[in-house]
Chain A
Amino acid sequence: MVQASSAVPKQSKKFSAPAKMTVSLQVNGVKRTLTIAPWTTLLDALRLYLDLTGTKKGCDHGQCGACTVLVDGRRIYSCLTLAVMKDGAQVTTIEGLAQGSTLHPLQQAFMKHDAFQCGYCTPGQICSAAGLIAEGKAHTADEIRELMSGNICRCGAYPNIVAAIEEVMSGKGAEKSGEAGR
Protein backbone atom coordinates (compact mmCIF):
# COMPACT_ATOMS: atom_id res chain seq x y z
CA MET A 1 0.00 0.00 0.00
CA VAL A 2 1.39 3.35 -0.97
CA GLN A 3 0.20 6.52 0.63
CA ALA A 4 -0.33 9.20 -1.93
CA SER A 5 1.23 12.50 -0.95
CA SER A 6 -2.00 14.24 -2.00
CA ALA A 7 -3.67 12.48 0.93
CA VAL A 8 -1.58 14.40 3.46
CA PRO A 9 -3.97 16.62 5.41
CA LYS A 10 -3.22 20.31 5.48
CA GLN A 11 -1.71 21.44 8.73
CA SER A 12 -2.38 24.71 10.47
CA LYS A 13 0.62 27.02 10.61
CA LYS A 14 0.84 26.79 14.35
CA PHE A 15 1.16 23.01 14.39
CA SER A 16 2.66 22.46 10.97
CA ALA A 17 4.04 18.97 10.70
CA PRO A 18 7.18 18.35 8.66
CA ALA A 19 6.42 17.22 5.14
CA LYS A 20 6.14 13.59 4.25
CA MET A 21 8.86 12.16 2.08
CA THR A 22 9.00 9.68 -0.75
CA VAL A 23 11.22 6.67 -0.17
CA SER A 24 12.01 3.74 -2.43
CA LEU A 25 12.97 0.43 -0.88
CA GLN A 26 13.82 -2.80 -2.65
CA VAL A 27 11.89 -5.13 -0.35
CA ASN A 28 12.42 -8.85 -0.94
CA GLY A 29 13.45 -8.04 -4.48
CA VAL A 30 10.46 -5.83 -5.28
CA LYS A 31 10.72 -2.05 -5.55
CA ARG A 32 8.26 -0.40 -3.19
CA THR A 33 7.73 3.35 -3.07
CA LEU A 34 6.26 4.96 0.02
CA THR A 35 5.35 8.47 1.01
CA ILE A 36 5.86 8.57 4.76
CA ALA A 37 6.59 10.85 7.68
CA PRO A 38 10.26 11.04 8.74
CA TRP A 39 9.45 9.40 12.08
CA THR A 40 8.19 6.19 10.47
CA THR A 41 10.48 3.38 11.51
CA LEU A 42 11.44 0.76 8.98
CA LEU A 43 9.52 -1.72 11.15
CA ASP A 44 6.32 0.32 10.92
CA ALA A 45 6.86 0.91 7.19
CA LEU A 46 7.08 -2.84 6.64
CA ARG A 47 4.18 -3.79 8.87
CA LEU A 48 1.73 -0.91 8.44
CA TYR A 49 2.33 0.29 4.90
CA LEU A 50 3.65 -2.80 3.08
CA ASP A 51 1.56 -5.40 4.93
CA LEU A 52 4.68 -7.44 5.65
CA THR A 53 3.70 -8.47 9.17
CA GLY A 54 6.20 -11.33 9.43
CA THR A 55 8.66 -8.92 11.05
CA LYS A 56 7.52 -8.55 14.64
CA LYS A 57 7.33 -5.62 17.00
CA GLY A 58 8.46 -6.85 20.39
CA CYS A 59 9.99 -4.22 22.65
CA ASP A 60 10.25 -1.49 19.97
CA HIS A 61 13.46 -0.34 21.72
CA GLY A 62 16.22 -2.48 20.26
CA GLN A 63 16.35 -4.84 23.19
CA CYS A 64 14.62 -8.01 21.94
CA GLY A 65 15.57 -8.61 18.30
CA ALA A 66 12.07 -9.58 17.07
CA CYS A 67 12.24 -6.82 14.45
CA THR A 68 15.54 -7.99 12.93
CA VAL A 69 15.70 -7.67 9.13
CA LEU A 70 18.57 -7.57 6.64
CA VAL A 71 19.36 -4.19 5.08
CA ASP A 72 21.86 -4.41 2.24
CA GLY A 73 22.68 -7.87 3.57
CA ARG A 74 23.38 -6.80 7.15
CA ARG A 75 21.17 -7.63 10.09
CA ILE A 76 19.79 -4.62 11.93
CA TYR A 77 16.90 -3.70 14.21
CA SER A 78 14.15 -2.21 12.06
CA CYS A 79 12.49 -0.64 15.13
CA LEU A 80 15.46 1.73 15.63
CA THR A 81 15.83 2.51 11.92
CA LEU A 82 14.05 5.37 10.19
CA ALA A 83 12.70 4.30 6.82
CA VAL A 84 13.60 7.66 5.22
CA MET A 85 17.26 6.97 5.99
CA LYS A 86 17.21 3.75 3.96
CA ASP A 87 16.10 5.21 0.64
CA GLY A 88 17.35 2.92 -2.13
CA ALA A 89 18.32 0.09 0.23
CA GLN A 90 17.71 -3.63 -0.24
CA VAL A 91 15.57 -4.96 2.59
CA THR A 92 15.08 -8.68 3.22
CA THR A 93 12.43 -9.81 5.67
CA ILE A 94 11.32 -13.27 6.75
CA GLU A 95 8.86 -13.23 3.83
CA GLY A 96 11.76 -12.95 1.39
CA LEU A 97 13.93 -15.87 2.49
CA ALA A 98 12.12 -18.80 0.87
CA GLN A 99 12.70 -19.56 -2.82
CA GLY A 100 9.18 -20.05 -4.09
CA SER A 101 7.72 -22.97 -2.15
CA THR A 102 11.15 -24.13 -0.95
CA LEU A 103 11.87 -22.85 2.51
CA HIS A 104 15.23 -21.29 3.33
CA PRO A 105 17.60 -23.85 4.95
CA LEU A 106 17.31 -21.94 8.23
CA GLN A 107 13.52 -22.13 8.12
CA GLN A 108 13.77 -25.87 7.50
CA ALA A 109 16.31 -26.34 10.26
CA PHE A 110 14.24 -24.34 12.77
CA MET A 111 11.30 -26.66 12.06
CA LYS A 112 13.41 -29.81 12.21
CA HIS A 113 15.00 -28.81 15.53
CA ASP A 114 11.81 -27.40 17.04
CA ALA A 115 13.68 -24.13 17.55
CA PHE A 116 10.69 -22.22 18.90
CA GLN A 117 7.61 -22.51 21.03
CA CYS A 118 5.36 -19.49 20.61
CA GLY A 119 7.17 -18.42 17.44
CA TYR A 120 7.01 -14.68 18.04
CA CYS A 121 10.77 -14.21 18.04
CA THR A 122 11.33 -16.67 15.18
CA PRO A 123 11.28 -14.30 12.17
CA GLY A 124 13.87 -12.13 13.91
CA GLN A 125 15.90 -15.18 14.97
CA ILE A 126 15.98 -16.52 11.42
CA CYS A 127 16.84 -13.18 9.79
CA SER A 128 19.52 -12.68 12.44
CA ALA A 129 20.90 -16.17 11.79
CA ALA A 130 20.98 -15.45 8.05
CA GLY A 131 23.03 -12.34 8.83
CA LEU A 132 25.25 -14.31 11.18
CA ILE A 133 26.05 -16.92 8.53
CA ALA A 134 26.78 -14.22 5.95
CA GLU A 135 29.18 -12.51 8.38
CA GLY A 136 31.16 -15.75 8.75
CA LYS A 137 32.46 -14.92 12.25
CA ALA A 138 30.80 -17.73 14.22
CA HIS A 139 32.52 -21.12 14.13
CA THR A 140 31.60 -22.66 17.49
CA ALA A 141 28.44 -23.00 19.56
CA ASP A 142 29.85 -20.40 21.98
CA GLU A 143 30.33 -17.97 19.11
CA ILE A 144 26.83 -18.63 17.77
CA ARG A 145 25.36 -17.96 21.21
CA GLU A 146 27.36 -14.76 21.61
CA LEU A 147 26.62 -13.41 18.14
CA MET A 148 22.92 -14.33 18.42
CA SER A 149 22.58 -12.59 21.80
CA GLY A 150 20.68 -9.73 20.20
CA ASN A 151 17.67 -11.99 19.80
CA ILE A 152 15.76 -12.86 22.94
CA CYS A 153 13.53 -15.95 23.11
CA ARG A 154 11.24 -15.75 26.12
CA CYS A 155 10.22 -19.38 25.62
CA GLY A 156 13.86 -20.32 26.08
CA ALA A 157 14.30 -22.31 22.87
CA TYR A 158 17.96 -21.33 22.75
CA PRO A 159 19.52 -24.84 22.66
CA ASN A 160 17.40 -25.79 19.65
CA ILE A 161 18.01 -22.43 17.94
CA VAL A 162 21.76 -22.97 18.27
CA ALA A 163 21.40 -26.56 17.01
CA ALA A 164 19.44 -25.38 13.96
CA ILE A 165 22.01 -22.71 13.10
CA GLU A 166 24.89 -25.11 13.65
CA GLU A 167 23.33 -27.57 11.24
CA VAL A 168 22.92 -24.99 8.50
CA MET A 169 26.43 -23.64 9.07
CA SER A 170 27.90 -27.12 8.83
CA GLY A 171 26.32 -27.55 5.41
CA LYS A 172 24.39 -30.61 6.54
CA GLY A 173 21.25 -28.81 5.56
CA ALA A 174 17.83 -29.80 6.70
CA GLU A 175 16.83 -30.30 3.06
CA LYS A 176 18.49 -33.72 3.27
CA SER A 177 16.22 -34.62 6.13
CA GLY A 178 12.83 -36.15 5.62
CA GLU A 179 11.51 -33.83 8.31
CA ALA A 180 12.19 -30.73 6.32
CA GLY A 181 9.46 -28.46 5.22
CA ARG A 182 6.60 -30.36 6.82
Chain B
Amino acid sequence: MNNFGYTRASDVADAVRQIAADPAAKFIAGGTNLIDLMKENVARPSRLIDITHLPLNKVEETKDGGLRIGALVPNSDLSYHPQIEARYPLLASAILAGASQQLRNMASTGGNLLQRTRCFYFYDTTTPCNKREPGSGCSAIEGINRGHAILGTSEHCIATHPSDMCVALAALEACVLATGKDGERSIKFADFHRLPDDTPNIDTNLRSDEIITAIELPPKGFAANYSYLKIRDRLSYAFALVSIAVGLDIADGTIKEARLALGGVAHKPWRNHEAEAQLSGAPATRETFMRAAETVLRDARGFGHNDFKIELARRGILRTLTQAARGTPQSQADKRIK
Protein backbone atom coordinates (compact mmCIF):
# COMPACT_ATOMS: atom_id res chain seq x y z
CA MET B 1 0.00 0.00 0.00
CA ASN B 2 1.15 3.54 -0.73
CA ASN B 3 1.61 5.76 2.30
CA PHE B 4 -1.36 7.94 3.14
CA GLY B 5 -2.57 10.28 5.84
CA TYR B 6 -5.52 9.61 8.11
CA THR B 7 -8.05 11.94 9.67
CA ARG B 8 -11.49 11.57 11.21
CA ALA B 9 -14.58 13.53 10.31
CA SER B 10 -16.40 14.94 13.34
CA ASP B 11 -19.73 15.50 11.58
CA VAL B 12 -21.17 15.50 8.05
CA ALA B 13 -20.28 19.17 7.48
CA ASP B 14 -16.71 18.49 8.57
CA ALA B 15 -16.54 15.48 6.22
CA VAL B 16 -17.67 17.65 3.29
CA ARG B 17 -15.20 20.39 4.25
CA GLN B 18 -12.33 17.90 4.44
CA ILE B 19 -13.05 16.19 1.12
CA ALA B 20 -13.62 19.51 -0.67
CA ALA B 21 -10.25 20.76 0.58
CA ASP B 22 -8.33 17.66 -0.54
CA PRO B 23 -9.47 16.20 -3.88
CA ALA B 24 -6.92 13.38 -3.58
CA ALA B 25 -8.45 12.21 -0.30
CA LYS B 26 -11.11 9.53 0.02
CA PHE B 27 -13.73 8.71 2.60
CA ILE B 28 -13.41 5.36 4.29
CA ALA B 29 -16.15 3.43 6.08
CA GLY B 30 -16.06 -0.38 5.81
CA GLY B 31 -13.08 -0.19 3.49
CA THR B 32 -13.72 -3.64 2.06
CA ASN B 33 -13.19 -2.54 -1.53
CA LEU B 34 -11.06 0.56 -1.04
CA ILE B 35 -8.32 -1.07 1.06
CA ASP B 36 -8.17 -3.96 -1.38
CA LEU B 37 -7.74 -1.53 -4.28
CA MET B 38 -5.07 0.33 -2.32
CA LYS B 39 -3.18 -2.90 -1.72
CA GLU B 40 -3.16 -3.47 -5.48
CA ASN B 41 -2.01 0.11 -6.09
CA VAL B 42 -5.17 0.78 -8.11
CA ALA B 43 -6.43 3.37 -5.62
CA ARG B 44 -3.83 5.79 -4.27
CA PRO B 45 -5.55 8.31 -2.00
CA SER B 46 -3.35 10.91 -0.31
CA ARG B 47 -5.44 10.64 2.82
CA LEU B 48 -8.30 8.63 4.20
CA ILE B 49 -11.07 10.51 5.97
CA ASP B 50 -12.62 8.11 8.46
CA ILE B 51 -16.40 8.67 8.52
CA THR B 52 -17.26 5.70 10.74
CA HIS B 53 -17.89 7.92 13.76
CA LEU B 54 -20.62 9.96 12.05
CA PRO B 55 -24.17 9.45 13.36
CA LEU B 56 -25.47 7.80 10.17
CA ASN B 57 -26.31 4.36 11.50
CA LYS B 58 -30.07 4.42 12.04
CA VAL B 59 -32.98 2.90 10.14
CA GLU B 60 -35.98 5.22 10.49
CA GLU B 61 -39.50 5.61 9.14
CA THR B 62 -39.99 8.36 6.59
CA LYS B 63 -43.03 10.63 6.49
CA ASP B 64 -44.38 8.92 3.38
CA GLY B 65 -44.28 5.48 5.01
CA GLY B 66 -40.96 4.34 3.61
CA LEU B 67 -37.65 3.75 5.36
CA ARG B 68 -34.54 5.86 5.61
CA ILE B 69 -31.38 3.80 5.99
CA GLY B 70 -28.34 5.60 7.37
CA ALA B 71 -25.28 5.34 5.14
CA LEU B 72 -23.24 3.64 7.86
CA VAL B 73 -25.70 0.85 8.68
CA PRO B 74 -23.67 -2.34 8.13
CA ASN B 75 -24.92 -4.61 5.34
CA SER B 76 -25.41 -7.46 7.82
CA ASP B 77 -27.52 -5.37 10.21
CA LEU B 78 -29.63 -4.17 7.29
CA SER B 79 -30.23 -7.68 5.97
CA TYR B 80 -31.52 -8.81 9.40
CA HIS B 81 -33.40 -5.62 10.29
CA PRO B 82 -36.99 -6.59 11.22
CA GLN B 83 -38.48 -3.82 9.04
CA ILE B 84 -36.36 -4.85 6.06
CA GLU B 85 -37.16 -8.54 6.53
CA ALA B 86 -40.88 -7.85 6.82
CA ARG B 87 -41.42 -5.04 4.32
CA TYR B 88 -38.48 -5.28 1.90
CA PRO B 89 -37.52 -8.98 1.85
CA LEU B 90 -36.17 -8.54 -1.70
CA LEU B 91 -33.51 -6.24 -0.28
CA ALA B 92 -32.75 -8.56 2.65
CA SER B 93 -32.42 -11.51 0.28
CA ALA B 94 -30.15 -9.66 -2.16
CA ILE B 95 -27.82 -8.51 0.62
CA LEU B 96 -27.52 -12.06 1.95
CA ALA B 97 -26.69 -13.27 -1.57
CA GLY B 98 -23.64 -11.01 -1.64
CA ALA B 99 -20.14 -11.32 -0.19
CA SER B 100 -19.64 -13.20 3.09
CA GLN B 101 -20.90 -12.51 6.58
CA GLN B 102 -17.51 -11.03 7.56
CA LEU B 103 -17.66 -8.58 4.65
CA ARG B 104 -21.32 -7.79 5.34
CA ASN B 105 -20.38 -7.02 8.96
CA MET B 106 -17.78 -4.54 7.72
CA ALA B 107 -19.42 -3.03 4.64
CA SER B 108 -21.65 0.01 4.98
CA THR B 109 -24.84 0.82 3.09
CA GLY B 110 -23.31 3.86 1.38
CA GLY B 111 -20.06 2.06 0.66
CA ASN B 112 -21.87 -0.78 -1.07
CA LEU B 113 -23.03 1.75 -3.67
CA LEU B 114 -19.52 3.16 -4.02
CA GLN B 115 -17.61 -0.08 -4.53
CA ARG B 116 -15.96 0.19 -7.90
CA THR B 117 -17.52 -1.23 -11.02
CA ARG B 118 -14.65 -3.48 -11.94
CA CYS B 119 -13.06 -6.47 -13.61
CA PHE B 120 -9.77 -8.29 -13.10
CA TYR B 121 -8.02 -6.20 -15.74
CA PHE B 122 -8.95 -3.13 -13.68
CA TYR B 123 -7.10 -4.78 -10.79
CA ASP B 124 -4.11 -5.81 -12.89
CA THR B 125 -1.92 -2.72 -13.17
CA THR B 126 0.26 -4.39 -15.83
CA THR B 127 -2.58 -4.34 -18.38
CA PRO B 128 -4.36 -1.49 -20.19
CA CYS B 129 -7.69 -0.47 -18.66
CA ASN B 130 -9.71 2.62 -19.52
CA LYS B 131 -11.34 2.62 -16.11
CA ARG B 132 -8.02 2.64 -14.27
CA GLU B 133 -6.08 4.67 -16.82
CA PRO B 134 -8.34 6.56 -19.24
CA GLY B 135 -7.26 6.19 -22.86
CA SER B 136 -5.07 3.14 -22.29
CA GLY B 137 -7.56 0.73 -23.86
CA CYS B 138 -9.78 -2.13 -22.70
CA SER B 139 -8.08 -5.50 -22.17
CA ALA B 140 -11.34 -7.34 -21.62
CA ILE B 141 -13.07 -6.81 -24.96
CA GLU B 142 -10.54 -9.01 -26.76
CA GLY B 143 -9.41 -10.81 -23.61
CA ILE B 144 -10.87 -13.20 -21.07
CA ASN B 145 -14.34 -11.77 -20.62
CA ARG B 146 -16.43 -14.56 -19.14
CA GLY B 147 -17.63 -12.43 -16.25
CA HIS B 148 -18.19 -9.26 -18.22
CA ALA B 149 -21.17 -7.20 -19.28
CA ILE B 150 -23.66 -7.97 -22.06
CA LEU B 151 -25.80 -4.84 -21.79
CA GLY B 152 -25.00 -1.14 -21.92
CA THR B 153 -21.36 -1.74 -22.79
CA SER B 154 -19.15 0.65 -24.72
CA GLU B 155 -16.02 0.20 -26.79
CA HIS B 156 -14.17 1.57 -23.76
CA CYS B 157 -15.33 -0.73 -20.96
CA ILE B 158 -17.31 -3.93 -20.40
CA ALA B 159 -16.91 -4.23 -16.61
CA THR B 160 -19.84 -5.06 -14.33
CA HIS B 161 -21.03 -3.58 -11.06
CA PRO B 162 -20.73 -6.46 -8.59
CA SER B 163 -23.23 -5.41 -5.92
CA ASP B 164 -26.27 -7.55 -5.15
CA MET B 165 -27.75 -5.03 -2.74
CA CYS B 166 -27.80 -2.38 -5.46
CA VAL B 167 -29.78 -4.63 -7.80
CA ALA B 168 -32.56 -4.81 -5.21
CA LEU B 169 -32.32 -1.07 -4.50
CA ALA B 170 -32.69 -0.40 -8.23
CA ALA B 171 -35.78 -2.63 -8.40
CA LEU B 172 -37.26 -0.93 -5.33
CA GLU B 173 -36.61 2.54 -6.78
CA ALA B 174 -34.64 3.74 -3.78
CA CYS B 175 -33.23 7.25 -3.56
CA VAL B 176 -29.71 8.20 -2.52
CA LEU B 177 -29.36 11.17 -0.19
CA ALA B 178 -26.09 13.04 -0.56
CA THR B 179 -24.69 16.13 1.13
CA GLY B 180 -22.12 18.40 -0.45
CA LYS B 181 -20.95 22.00 -0.38
CA ASP B 182 -24.28 23.06 -1.90
CA GLY B 183 -26.41 21.19 0.63
CA GLU B 184 -28.39 17.96 0.50
CA ARG B 185 -29.92 16.41 -2.62
CA SER B 186 -31.79 13.25 -3.47
CA ILE B 187 -30.61 11.14 -6.40
CA LYS B 188 -32.87 8.53 -7.98
CA PHE B 189 -31.19 5.15 -7.85
CA ALA B 190 -31.40 4.77 -11.62
CA ASP B 191 -29.42 8.01 -11.98
CA PHE B 192 -26.78 7.17 -9.39
CA HIS B 193 -24.54 4.72 -11.25
CA ARG B 194 -23.34 5.40 -14.78
CA LEU B 195 -22.87 3.41 -17.95
CA PRO B 196 -19.27 3.37 -19.18
CA ASP B 197 -19.68 5.34 -22.44
CA ASP B 198 -16.36 7.13 -23.00
CA THR B 199 -15.72 7.85 -19.30
CA PRO B 200 -15.61 4.43 -17.63
CA ASN B 201 -13.28 5.91 -15.02
CA ILE B 202 -16.34 7.60 -13.45
CA ASP B 203 -18.67 5.05 -11.86
CA THR B 204 -21.30 7.28 -10.28
CA ASN B 205 -22.86 10.72 -10.49
CA LEU B 206 -21.92 11.54 -6.91
CA ARG B 207 -19.90 14.75 -6.94
CA SER B 208 -16.38 14.80 -5.62
CA ASP B 209 -17.35 16.92 -2.59
CA GLU B 210 -20.43 14.88 -1.70
CA ILE B 211 -20.99 12.23 0.94
CA ILE B 212 -23.85 9.73 0.93
CA THR B 213 -25.82 10.16 4.15
CA ALA B 214 -28.75 7.78 3.61
CA ILE B 215 -30.77 5.60 1.26
CA GLU B 216 -34.52 6.11 1.19
CA LEU B 217 -36.90 3.31 0.33
CA PRO B 218 -40.37 4.18 -0.95
CA PRO B 219 -43.30 2.56 0.90
CA LYS B 220 -43.89 -0.17 -1.66
CA GLY B 221 -41.72 -3.20 -0.88
CA PHE B 222 -43.34 -6.00 -2.99
CA ALA B 223 -43.11 -8.23 0.09
CA ALA B 224 -45.67 -10.80 -1.09
CA ASN B 225 -44.29 -11.50 -4.56
CA TYR B 226 -40.56 -11.12 -4.92
CA SER B 227 -37.44 -13.16 -5.57
CA TYR B 228 -33.68 -12.59 -5.88
CA LEU B 229 -31.92 -15.26 -7.91
CA LYS B 230 -28.15 -15.17 -8.20
CA ILE B 231 -26.29 -17.50 -10.56
CA ARG B 232 -22.54 -17.83 -9.96
CA ASP B 233 -19.64 -20.21 -10.41
CA ARG B 234 -19.79 -21.50 -6.85
CA LEU B 235 -22.70 -21.67 -4.44
CA SER B 236 -21.70 -18.78 -2.23
CA TYR B 237 -19.18 -15.97 -1.88
CA ALA B 238 -18.73 -15.27 -5.58
CA PHE B 239 -19.83 -12.46 -7.85
CA ALA B 240 -22.90 -13.00 -9.95
CA LEU B 241 -22.63 -14.21 -13.51
CA VAL B 242 -26.23 -13.11 -13.70
CA SER B 243 -28.57 -12.06 -10.90
CA ILE B 244 -32.20 -11.08 -11.11
CA ALA B 245 -34.34 -9.08 -8.69
CA VAL B 246 -38.10 -9.19 -9.18
CA GLY B 247 -40.95 -7.50 -7.33
CA LEU B 248 -44.50 -8.03 -8.51
CA ASP B 249 -47.82 -6.60 -7.43
CA ILE B 250 -50.34 -9.25 -8.48
CA ALA B 251 -54.12 -9.32 -8.12
CA ASP B 252 -56.30 -12.18 -9.42
CA GLY B 253 -53.51 -13.56 -11.58
CA THR B 254 -52.87 -10.22 -13.28
CA ILE B 255 -49.71 -8.22 -12.75
CA LYS B 256 -50.55 -4.68 -11.67
CA GLU B 257 -46.98 -3.48 -11.32
CA ALA B 258 -43.62 -5.12 -12.00
CA ARG B 259 -40.03 -4.38 -11.13
CA LEU B 260 -37.21 -6.28 -12.76
CA ALA B 261 -33.51 -5.52 -12.30
CA LEU B 262 -30.43 -7.48 -13.31
CA GLY B 263 -26.96 -7.70 -11.80
CA GLY B 264 -23.74 -9.07 -13.28
CA VAL B 265 -24.71 -8.01 -16.79
CA ALA B 266 -23.89 -4.30 -16.97
CA HIS B 267 -21.82 -1.42 -15.63
CA LYS B 268 -24.72 -0.64 -13.30
CA PRO B 269 -27.83 -2.43 -11.99
CA TRP B 270 -29.85 -2.95 -15.16
CA ARG B 271 -33.52 -2.08 -15.53
CA ASN B 272 -35.67 -2.08 -18.62
CA HIS B 273 -38.81 0.03 -18.38
CA GLU B 274 -40.26 -1.38 -21.59
CA ALA B 275 -40.13 -4.90 -20.18
CA GLU B 276 -41.69 -3.75 -16.91
CA ALA B 277 -44.47 -2.01 -18.86
CA GLN B 278 -45.11 -5.22 -20.82
CA LEU B 279 -45.50 -7.11 -17.55
CA SER B 280 -47.89 -4.57 -16.07
CA GLY B 281 -51.49 -5.43 -16.83
CA ALA B 282 -50.56 -8.83 -18.27
CA PRO B 283 -51.50 -12.23 -16.89
CA ALA B 284 -48.77 -13.78 -14.72
CA THR B 285 -47.99 -16.54 -17.20
CA ARG B 286 -44.91 -18.09 -18.73
CA GLU B 287 -45.69 -16.39 -22.06
CA THR B 288 -45.75 -12.98 -20.39
CA PHE B 289 -42.47 -13.67 -18.64
CA MET B 290 -40.83 -14.93 -21.84
CA ARG B 291 -41.82 -11.76 -23.67
CA ALA B 292 -40.36 -9.59 -20.91
CA ALA B 293 -37.09 -11.56 -20.98
CA GLU B 294 -36.87 -11.15 -24.76
CA THR B 295 -37.32 -7.41 -24.38
CA VAL B 296 -34.63 -7.10 -21.70
CA LEU B 297 -32.12 -9.05 -23.79
CA ARG B 298 -33.01 -7.73 -27.26
CA ASP B 299 -29.91 -5.54 -27.41
CA ALA B 300 -27.64 -7.86 -25.41
CA ARG B 301 -24.22 -8.49 -26.91
CA GLY B 302 -21.63 -11.03 -25.83
CA PHE B 303 -17.89 -10.73 -26.28
CA GLY B 304 -17.04 -14.39 -26.74
CA HIS B 305 -16.50 -15.99 -23.37
CA ASN B 306 -19.59 -14.36 -21.90
CA ASP B 307 -22.00 -15.17 -24.75
CA PHE B 308 -23.63 -17.76 -22.47
CA LYS B 309 -24.82 -14.98 -20.18
CA ILE B 310 -27.49 -13.96 -22.67
CA GLU B 311 -29.25 -17.33 -22.54
CA LEU B 312 -28.52 -17.64 -18.81
CA ALA B 313 -30.15 -14.26 -18.20
CA ARG B 314 -33.15 -15.20 -20.34
CA ARG B 315 -33.76 -18.37 -18.32
CA GLY B 316 -32.97 -16.58 -15.07
CA ILE B 317 -35.52 -13.85 -15.73
CA LEU B 318 -38.15 -16.45 -16.55
CA ARG B 319 -37.34 -18.44 -13.41
CA THR B 320 -37.24 -15.43 -11.09
CA LEU B 321 -40.50 -14.01 -12.40
CA THR B 322 -42.06 -17.45 -11.86
CA GLN B 323 -40.72 -17.66 -8.32
CA ALA B 324 -42.03 -14.18 -7.53
CA ALA B 325 -45.45 -14.83 -9.05
CA ARG B 326 -45.82 -18.06 -7.08
CA GLY B 327 -44.74 -16.41 -3.86
CA THR B 328 -41.87 -18.87 -3.52
CA PRO B 329 -38.75 -16.68 -3.45
CA GLN B 330 -35.30 -18.15 -3.94
CA SER B 331 -33.72 -19.18 -0.62
CA GLN B 332 -30.19 -17.87 -0.09
CA ALA B 333 -29.33 -20.85 2.15
CA ASP B 334 -30.89 -23.79 0.31
CA LYS B 335 -29.31 -23.28 -3.09
CA ARG B 336 -31.63 -25.49 -5.09
CA ILE B 337 -33.42 -23.42 -7.70
CA LYS B 338 -37.11 -24.29 -7.68
Q: Return the contact of B237 from the options A37, A131, A142, A149 (Cβ within 8 A).
A: A149
Select which of A37, A65, A146, A147 is within 8 A of B3 by beta carbon.
A37
Complex CA–CA separation, A142 to B335 (angstroms):
8
Instruction: Report A-chain residues with C-beta under 8 Å of the C-beta of B80.
Output: 137
Give Cα A81–Cα B333 distance, bound, in whole angstroms: 27
**Chain A CB within 10 A, most for which of B3, B96, B99:** B3
By the criterion CB–CB under 8 Å, are B52 and A85 in contact? yes
**Residue contact B101 to A150, C-beta cutoff 8 Å:** yes
Contact indicator A38/B101 (Cβ below 8 Å)? no
Residues of A within 8 A of B76 (CB): 74, 135
Q: Which residues of A contact B103 (CB under 8 A)?
A: 62, 77, 80, 150
The interface residues of chain B lying within 8 Å CB-to-CB of A39 are 1-4, 38
Q: Is the CB of B3 within 8 A of A150?
A: no
CA distance A80 to B237 in the complex (A): 16
Which residues of chain A come closer than 8 Å to B48, judged between CB atoms? 38, 82
Binary per-residue interface labels of chain A (67-95) against chain B in the complex, 1 for a CB within 8 Å, 0 otherwise: 01000001111001110110000000000
Point out the residue from B36, B102, B237 that lies within 8 Å of A68, measured CB to CB.
B102
What's the count of A-B pairs with C-beta under 8 Å? 97
- A132 CB–B CB distance under 8 Å: yes
Contact of A132 among B2, B28, B52, B101 (CB under 8 A): B101
The CA-CA distance from A140 to B47 in the complex, in Å, is 44
User: Which B residues are CB-close (under 8 A) to A142?
Assistant: 333-335
Is A128's CB within 8 Å of the partner chain B? Answer: yes
Residues of B within 8 A of A17 (CB): 3
How many residues on the B side are at the interface (Cβ–Cβ under 8 A)? Answer: 34
Contact of A135 (CB < 8 Å), options: B28, B96, B101:
B101
Q: What is the CA–CA distance of A69 and B35 in the complex, to the nearest angstrom?
A: 17
Q: How far is the CA of A161 from the CA of B50 in the complex (A)?
A: 36
Distance between A20 CB and nearest chain B CB, rounded to angstroms: 10
Tell me how far the C-beta of B22 lies from the nearest C-beta in chain A, rounded to whole angstroms. Answer: 13
Nearest Cβ distance between residue A76 and chain B, in whole angstroms? 5
Which residue of the partner chain, among B39, B333, B334, contacts A60 with CB atoms under 8 Å? B39
Contact yes or no, A74 B105, CB < 8 A: yes
Given contacts A39-B1, A74-B105, A150-B100, contact A145 B236 (CB under 8 A): yes
Q: How far is the CA of A48 from the CA of B3 in the complex (A)?
A: 18
In the complex, chain A residues whose CB is within 8 Å of the CB of B52: 85
- Are B236 and A149 closer than 8 Å at their CB atoms? yes
Q: Is B106 part of the binding interface, using a Cβ–Cβ cutoff of 8 Å?
A: yes
Closest chain B residue to A124, Cβ basis: B102
Distance in angstroms between the alpha carbons of A60 and B36 in the assembled complex? 8
Contact A128 B36 (CB under 8 A): no
User: Can you list, as one digit per residue, whether each of A112-142 has a CB less than 8 Å from chain B (1) or not (0)?
Assistant: 0000000000000000100110010100101
Nearest A residue to B40 by beta-carbon distance?
A61
Partner of B36, one of A62, A76, A131: A62
Contacting B4 at CB < 8 Å: which of A38, A131, A132?
A38
* Partner pick for B100 among A21, A37, A74, A149, CB 8 A cutoff: A149
B283 within 8 A of partner (CB)? no
Query: Bound state CA distance, A145 and B334, in angstroms?
Result: 10
CB <8 Å contact, A75 and B101: yes
Provide the residues of chain B in CB contact with A145, threshold 8 Å: 235-236, 333
Give the nearest-CB partner of A148 in chain B: B101
A9 at the interface (CB under 8 A from B): no
Contacts of B102 in A (CB 8 A): 62, 65, 68, 75-77, 128, 131, 150
Q: Residues of B contacting A75 with CB < 8 Å?
A: 101-102, 105
What is the distance, in angstroms, from A123's C-beta to the closest C-beta of chain B?
14
Chain B residue contacts of A150, Cβ below 8 A? 99-103, 237
A79 to B102, CA, bound (A): 11
Q: What residues of chain A lie closer than 8 Å to B32, measured between beta carbons? A: 62, 77, 80
Q: List 16 A-B contacts (CB under 8 A).
A: A21-B6, A38-B5, A65-B102, A76-B106, A80-B32, A82-B28, A85-B28, A85-B31, A131-B102, A135-B76, A137-B80, A146-B96, A146-B333, A147-B101, A150-B99, A151-B100
**Chain A residues within CB distance 8 Å of chain B:** 17-18, 21, 37-39, 41, 60-62, 65, 68, 74-77, 80-82, 84-85, 128, 131-132, 135, 137, 140, 142-143, 145-151
Known: A82-B6, A82-B48. 7 other contacts (CB 8 A): A17-B3, A77-B32, A85-B50, A85-B52, A146-B332, A150-B102, A151-B100
| 9 closest A-B pairs by CB | A150-B100, A149-B236, A38-B6, A18-B5, A149-B237, A142-B333, A150-B102, A146-B333, A143-B333
